[in-house]
Amino acid sequence: MGQRVETKLFKPDFGDCLPMVSVPALKQRMLMLTDYETCSGCQSCVMACSLTKMKVFSPSKSLVTLRKVEDRCLGVPVVCEHCDDPPCQAACPVSAITKDHSSGVVSVNRELCTGCKTCEKACPFGAGTIKFWDDRAIVCDLCNGDPACVRTCTQKALMFLPATRATVARKAELARRRRSILASIGGI
């Protein structure tokens, strides 16, 4: 599963990555970057998300998940990466997942979703990026371009930056490292 995904999306080589986004679209686009190495594990992002989306404080009602290895003081935030060629989209048997290439946002049509969780299994970052509320999938919608989790993160472990060549390369590198740490702590 992991193999199939990694080949295309987060290769530091721009060749595979950039052509996915047209030049005018790139200028308007923002990218979510997640750097686990600066994460302090405070869970503020998790709470900010559940407050924004569900008006309550609850990790299970947040679209950000924090995986932790407590004795090593390691916190790994997991949130939808809004991949350019989403493996979840490809995997969805009822085509409920779509990718808007102008805004870069991956979204789920909850009317169509059957809650089969195939998308969760296809995600290269493991469980936690896609949540299931009322047995239907729901993913981060980037809060209409001003993510609450990013605003709350004082550590800058979550960043929302304009899509430049440098940001794309950094996102790819951070994603690679995060996949590797998630694999080592049993998160994938």
In angstroms, what CA-CA distances link 35 with 24, 56, 84, 139, 146?
A: 27, 26, 19, 20, 18
Our finding on whether 14 is near other proteins (CB under 8 A) is no
Of 70, 93, 111, 144, which lies in the binding site for other proteins, with binding defined by CB under 8 A?
70
Our finding on whether 143 is near other proteins (CB under 8 A) is no
d(CA 169, CA 137): 29
Task: Please give the residues from 16 up to 45 whose contact with other proteins meets the rule CB under 8 A.
Answer: 37-38, 40-44
Of 3, 13, 15, 55, which lies in the binding site for other proteins, with binding defined by CB under 8 A?
55
Of 19, 23, 24, 71, which lies in the binding site for other proteins, with binding defined by CB under 8 A?
71
Q: How far is the CB of 167 from other proteins (least distance, A)?
A: 23
Our finding on whether 181 is near other proteins (CB under 8 A) is no
Our finding on whether 129 is near other proteins (CB under 8 A) is no
End-to-end CA distance of the chain: 10
Q: What are phi and psi of 31, to 5 degrees?
A: -120, 140
Choose the stretch contacting other proteins; rule: CB under 8 A; options: 17-25, 69-77, 91-99, 117-125. 69-77
Q: 89-93 long-range contacts, Cβ below 8 Å, gap at least 24?
A: 89/119, 90/122, 91/118, 91/119, 91/121, 91/122, 92/118, 92/119, 93/118
Our finding on whether 7 is near other proteins (CB under 8 A) is no
Read off the tokens for 28. 């308007």
- Cα 11 to its chain centre, rounded Å, is 16
CA angle 53, 104, 124 (to 5 degrees): 80
Of 25, 51, 112, 161, which lies in the binding site for other proteins, with binding defined by CB under 8 A?
51
d(CA 151, CA 116): 33
Q: How far is the CB of 20 from other proteins (least distance, A)?
A: 33
Task: Please give the residues from 72 up to 91 whose contact with other proteins meets the rule CB under 8 A.
Answer: 72-74
Our finding on whether 170 is near other proteins (CB under 8 A) is no
Q: Which residues pair with 126 in a beta bridge?
A: none
Q: Which residues contact other proteins by CB under 8 A? A: 37-38, 40-44, 47-48, 50-52, 55-61, 67-74, 148, 151-152, 154-155, 185-186
